[in-house]
Amino acid sequence: MQAAERRHEVKFLLVTLLLVLGLAAAAFINLMRVPAQKSGPATTRNPTSVKTDSDFSAPSKGVPNFDPNVGFVHWDCRKSTVDSPVGAAYIRIKGASCRGGAMRNFHVVNSSNGFTASVFWSDKNFTTDLIDLQPGPNRISMDWIDARGRVQTSELSILRAEEKLAK
């Protein structure tokens, strides 16, 4: 009788082993294959907040900005005023690190309305996000820690000319 029970146990274990190996193989194949791409109208619709590559193309030489309500200021570490009034509701400041050194903890704040800008670095060049300007004079404060560990500060005065804004 024990031989019959032993054969029954061996058959049970073999069937269980085959079942486990089959499920493991199916799971492995399912994990390793590339998922199928869905096609149809849902893949062509994008949220409005997602930018396409064409949204980031550079403007032509004849057109300085796409949006007349956005201005650009190029800062060279010495500039303290923008010579002509800015006819834009927002500006983006672009520049390079001063004297080619490191500029850690770089902060840009419009002291006139309290807006703090985000700063994005690419190698030794930076750009800010759009800085909201109030009508009239705006004081933009920039501070950073230089390569020697000293805190440096620069003020930039920008006059927003209300009548130049596009409607």
β-strands 119-122, 151-160: how paired? unpaired
* pLDDT band of 4, cuts 50, 70, 90: confident
pLDDT of residue 38: 63
126-154, pLDDT tens digit by residue? 899 999 989 888 999 988 888 888 888 88
* pLDDT band of 43, cuts 50, 70, 90: low
3-state SS class at 106: strand
CATH architecture of the domain covering 63-164:
Sandwich (2.60)
| Distance from C-alpha of 26 to C-alpha of 21, rounded to nearest angstrom | 9
Q: Residue 114 pLDDT > 80, yes or no?
A: yes
Q: State both tokens at 27.
A: 């799971």
Domain boundaries, the chain: 1-33, 63-164
Is-contact 80 62, C-beta < 8 A? no
24-38, pLDDT tens digit by residue? 999 999 888 877 666
pTM (predicted TM-score): 0.53
Among residues 112, 96, 85, the alpha carbon closest in space to that of 144 is found at 96
Q: State both tokens at 156.
A: 């930039």
What is the per-residue burial (b if ≥16 Cβ within 10 Å, else e) of 72-105?
Answer: ebebeeeeeebeeebbbbbbbbebebbeeeebee
6-18, pLDDT tens digit by residue? 899 999 999 999 9
pLDDT of residue 167: 46
**C-alpha 109 chain-centroid distance:** 19
3-state SS class at 6: helix
68-91, pLDDT tens digit by residue? 567 888 887 776 666 667 888 888
- Pick 22 or 146 by higher pLDDT: 22
Is-contact 138 113, C-beta < 8 A? yes
